[in-house]
Structure 1
Amino acid sequence: MQIIVEMAEVRGETFSNRFKECLPLITQIIQPVTLSEYAERTIVTILDSLSAMLRKCPKAAKEAAIDGLFNHMLQGLECFVKCLDSPRIQLACARLFGQLFTTLEMEFFHSLTDPSVKQLTEWMCWQLKNRLLEEDLAEQVAKNVAILSTVFVMDEELIWLCKKLCSICKFEVVQQPSESLKRVTIFKLAAALAVRADATRLMIVVDAFLPYLHREMMGKSPQNTVELQQISLEVAEIFKEKLGDEIYARKLTQCQKLAAEKIEQRKRRKKEEAVVDPMNAALKKQKKNKAKAAARKRKLDTDKPYRASIRKKRRQAQQ
């Protein structure tokens, strides 16, 4: 693969005919069985080499796409996108998709049915929801989703995308409250969607993301509060500029009312549970108090590192 890439770099577009000959051979490699037969380093090299070939031979790549030479390869890439065992393979695959989206016309992807643009977006969102998400992958996935979103011309498609992204924000709030990368990335993506949206589509974006932005603007996250507040305020300012002061103020008031209603509902449920199932309510309260105590202990250990060493010495002395 590296030799082929070097040939493409030296010969440029004169390598076009060879590119079409090589593509079916590469497609045979990009299959699920490759993950078990090849080493991680080899797979990453293959994906990166294909990205380089696309970059060096854009005209040949477009011709190959018209001839349908990419269709089977795209189907095989799903397992590489979702390779849980290797963040490096996930990143290389995300970069390959980024190069594909840049090199080929988006009309080509719009015409695809297997995988469809919606499926490709779901693959990208799967990567974004990954518990082990890293900054470089998040950045590349955000770029990919931003490009794919240009194909969503129907309002229903944009609503679907916004709901998908908001569900990832909710996942991080509930499952990974100490992390912020997913929300920061999605808020930036929301800003990009808002900037290029017309009046109708802007309302879709604002209605979907403003409740999550409002939460972070109010500093509700236990960690990374400053970072989340800053990015949420910046995105909210973009919404405000696009909507106008009056409409934005009305939308923000709706978010505040909704947040207050949720708090009241939560309090009501706790009171009802204390009456209906006092044992379970007591256990939940006990668990919450233990978590608070552990959090305070961690904070003190961070501020005063010597505390941990003192505890360790005491335990050793007791043994």
Structure 2
Amino acid sequence: MKFICSIKIFAAYIAIVMLGLCTGAFLYMTYSLCTILVAGQKFSAFSLGFFLQGIFEVLPAVLSLCPVFISFYLIRHKEIPWYSVLVCMILHLCLWIFFIPALKEKLEISVYKNKEMQAAVSLSPGYFRTSQDNRYVLYYSEVDSENNASGICIDKSKSNGNVFTFSSEKPEIFQDEFSDPLIKNTVEVPVLLRQILKYFQKFTEASYSRCSENFVSWIIFSSIILAFASVVWIKNISAWRLVNVLFILMDYIFVFFLNFFILGANDSLFQKIPALIKSVPVKSFLVCVINIFIFAAAFVLWLISRLVKENSPEPAYYGDDL
């Protein structure tokens, strides 16, 4: 029975990773296809290049969130033995350490190819478009292959509505992440979600940056995965499942921003350190120690809670003596 339960946790882990990667890559691909979409042109429903680029972009975020969803699974399936969970988290750490460097160079190729394809998209004529600052309204009568437009411009800042023509121009105020401002107004990401994605983007950039450095630096940075894995040991901290879910989310957010705060802290905190030690990435070692401590503390807390529950008498209920 325990063997079957152990198989379940590993199957759930694989499913969470694969589903997370596919979902994240698909959403990234859809958004990227919208950024190169131009009004009047047919929308492409799939792009292998953007899908692979999406895997590259969401891989660190998905692996960081995996322990959270494993914890949600364990809340529902309490029969999973603890040693299977521990082995699963160790394998998860190994996957992070070796899988990301192995795929980094291969997936980076598709990133550069798609950036070139995005830069080559041209606007379509025959549509009215508004500038980013909402000051100008433009009608493109002709657009060449280099995205230089000719047409009519209306300056809305003037009380009389100043109208003038332009030819073969590409003003900076019309350049944006989206190839067509008409599409941007339709699919732009909400502010709150954009801010959350911004933090995950910073995490992805930091992950690949450390991955490109020496192996020791990468191992030290990878300690954050141990801290993220601490959530599996607090999954039953309360008898109420909703409270456990809240604690898991709070733990993840705490670890996430704690690492960002320390790594981005002012160097004045370390001014009293001798010059010989200053050459060592002190903040990285500090983060590594804190991350390992968080994982160990969560494990010890779970172990104490387990021992207390095993040694405590069974609660008596009314009618048991009847």
> Is the TM-score greater than 0.5?
no
Rg: which structure is higher? 2
TM-score, normalised to structure 1's length? 0.20
Greater per-residue helix proportion: 1
Higher relative contact order (CA 8 A, sep 6+): 2
TM-score, normalised to structure 2's length? 0.20
